Structure 1
């Protein structure tokens, strides 16, 4: 697990969010939108892919209001309130394991910590609300700096987003570990010289951080 890490040079840890810190169910939003629209899930998924809403939203090409408008138009329901769309969209996010948060907090005294996520503003607001309700720090408080795809207008596995993080935070690639559940994201980071760790079930981030 941690054998890929050279701990003698390690100074910085970059974490993905979904399925690294927070368990996710990628099928849940489409399932919920399909139920709301009274349409087959396969049809909703096909429409979603055809119109490429996700990458537009997660790279900041469209904002929250435009995203919701696209959803209403796509699923032919102008009456859905913002909250209805946001709630369905946020079903991708499952319960946050508090022990993962506590481990990350422990690491703050030893490493510089960063977050790098392909995500949307609706998700981040929801996560921070849940964290606050748990008596935990927000993502912006938990990490030295957060890098959200919609803010930087780049997405993993684009090499540019990793370079952006290294440049903005002043990090040396060889002194930096990156934890992600997506093999393509890991490969792209490794090609820049980052110590990239592929987080794979049944293991969790806690297993990979045991000896860090």
Structure 2
């Protein structure tokens, strides 16, 4: 079987409020203002496909949020998103690999974050056979083509794959292709699914 794991809030806990908290302090803007303006829109999608640079993304997001930040200040907040790894999920991934199963990560991410988390959490890379990143592939979830790409690269059919993700749109897109898909609501979902 092919087991496909998302990264954020599946393997590594992330929290956008931590990001906004740093930007609120540095930009001297009330946190509530940033929270009300923050959404994952076009700039995110372009950035996650590698279609715009980190600097352009920073400029666009600061404009959307109406906050004045230098690029180093933006980056400091952006990397605050990471909370820590889910050790139980990593242990399951390692166990699957020891049993001869294929384990990969499929993440919507960006260059800035991939300069950070691999050094912070080396155990994540050690728990997967391969890591597929949206900005390197030029496509992102929930686009059907990104799932099809992973299946083709790995040599598995949709029926031979299981996908774990915390985003319902991503889950629905994978299901539509015939991939067994598990919506990860919290840190208990993945261990619970394997326990069953």
TM range (shorter): 0.7 to 0.9
Report the Cα distance in structure 2 between the residues aligned to 1:161 and 1:69, rounded to whole angstroms: 27
2:46–2:52: 8 Å Cα contact kept in structure 1? yes
Corresponding residue SS for 1:13: strand
Which structure shows the bigger proportion of residues in strand conformation? 2
Match of 2:14, SS state, is coil
Match of 1:39, SS state, is coil
The residue aligned with 1:93 is: 82
Verify: 1:200 aligned to 2:185, yes or no.
yes
Structure-2 change in CA distance of 1:96 and 1:49 (3 Å): closer
Distance in 2 (CA, whole Å) between partners of 1:39 and 1:31 is 10
**Are the counterparts in 2 of residues 21 and 205 from structure 1 also a CA contact under 8 Å?**
no
Moved more, 184-193 or 51-60: 51-60
Matched, 1:169 2:161: no
Report which stretch shifted further, 46-55 or 144-153: 46-55
How far off its partner does 1:43 sit? 3.7
TM-score, normalising length: structure 1: 0.79
The whole-number CA distance in structure 2 between the counterparts of 1:203 and 1:142 is 19
Count of aligned residue pairs for this structure pair: 193
Q: How far does residue 71 in structure 1 lie from its aligned partner after superposition?
A: 5.3
Matches within 5 A, 1:15-164: 15-45=5-35, 49=39, 52-70=42-60, 75-77=67-69, 80=70, 82=72, 84-109=73-98, 110-132=100-122, 136=123, 138-139=124-125, 141-164=126-149
The answer to whether the 8 A contact 1:115-1:143 is kept is: yes
Aligned-pair distance for 1:204? 3.4
Report how far residue 150 of structure 1 moved.
Answer: 1.1
C-alpha RMSD of matched pairs (Å):
2.4
Q: Is the 8 A contact 2:5 2:104 kept in 1?
A: yes
TM-score by length of 2: 0.85
